[in-house]
Chain A
Amino acid sequence: EAGVAQSPRYKIIEKRQSVAFWCNPISGHATLYWYQQILGQGPKLLIQFQNNGVVDDSQLPKDRFSAERLKGVDSTLKIQPAKLEDSAVYLCASSLDLEGREQYFGPGTRLTVT
């Protein structure tokens, strides 16, 4: 079974530039999550999709972050414009459904904003 795929693995941009991350979840997984993990901290949920609908985006900075999950499969997370404090690892995860299932994480994208 293929795992969660993410790209790119690394990205360096200057502040005020834009960046996009891509995620392909495990086939058949209805729920998809985007997390931000700052060095030394645990992952923080940014947005949670059930199929192609948003379940929770309460911690997504909507003035600069946006995410979509077209056709309930792949997802993209965009930051525009980036700030220095956005430097972090962005993790995508998927689970079979919402009901207390384990989450499967991708390798993450390490973003550095200079």
Chain B
Amino acid sequence: SQKIEQNSEALNIQEGKTATLTCNYTNYSPAYLQWYRQDPGRGPVFLLLIRENEKEKRKERLKVTFDTTLKQSLFHITASQPADSATYLCAPRGGYNKLIFGAGTRLAVHP
């Protein structure tokens, strides 16, 4: 069955550093992959979408890579700020264009 793996342990980093989050998937080849941010008590918020023919995508301080050979996506936040602290969800596309969400990685940026 399709499986999504994200770091289950929280990632703690110092303000100003680059945060790198990993998403690995198995048993399928998604045409695209999305990343979402979720704050406590709120619904996820869309950040970026990257397609299988794109190696890298950027949006302001965010960068996503998509390696279809390794079946992995990396999500980077440069010059991280305490306001970036949240849970980040990886969601590769499944059948019928539905998203299959990982459990998320909690990021804590310390001043």
Chain A positions within 8 Å of B4 at CB level:
42
Residues of A within 8 A of B (CB): 4, 33, 35, 40-45, 48, 55-56, 91, 93, 98-100, 102-108
B32 in complex: contacting residue of A4, A40, A100, CB < 8 Å: A100
Which residues of B lie under 8 Å from residue A33 when comparing CB positions? 98
Closest to A56 in B: B96
Chain B residue nearest in CB terms to A38: B103
The answer to whether A100 and B46 have CB atoms under 8 Å apart is no
Total contacting residues, chain B, CB less than 8 A: 25
Binds A, one of B13-21, B37-45, B73-81: B37-45
Q: List 8 A-B contacts (CB under 8 A).
A: A42-B89, A42-B91, A42-B102, A45-B99, A55-B96, A56-B95, A99-B97, A107-B43
- Tell whether A105 pairs with B89 under 8 Å between CB atoms, given A42-B103, A100-B49: no
A105 touches B43 (CB 8 A): yes
Are B96 and A102 closer than 8 Å at their CB atoms?
no
Residues of A within 8 A of B96 (CB): 48, 55-56, 98
